[in-house]
Amino acid sequence: MNEDKRPMKASEIPAFVDEVIDAGCNITAVGHDKYVLGDIEEQDAAIEDLDRIGEKYGNRDPLKRQIVAYLWSIGRYIDLETEGTRH
């Protein structure tokens, strides 16, 4: 569980994002309060790398909004407000 892992530091966010990208995943902010590591196929292909990255950086849940803000700052986001509603 995430509670057992060390907390990730805000200063580690850029390196975390770089490692996820290097693992072949298209980490992207979705709106202003969520992010995804990539699509399912990318995550499946990179599962060992993502597990290693998760162990290295620890619990990132408390930093979710900071990770999202960083992703926006580097242009890796989907702006839900401009996407419109799809039915």
Helix (H, G, I), strand (E, B) or coil at 32: coil
Q: What are the pLDDT digits (tens) for 16-35?
A: 999 999 999 999 999 999 99
Q: What are the pLDDT digits (tens) for 59-75?
A: 999 999 999 999 999 99
Contact 43, 37 (CB under 8 A): yes
pLDDT of residue 87: 47
Q: What are the pLDDT digits (tens) for 44-58?
A: 999 999 999 999 999
pTM of the model: 0.88
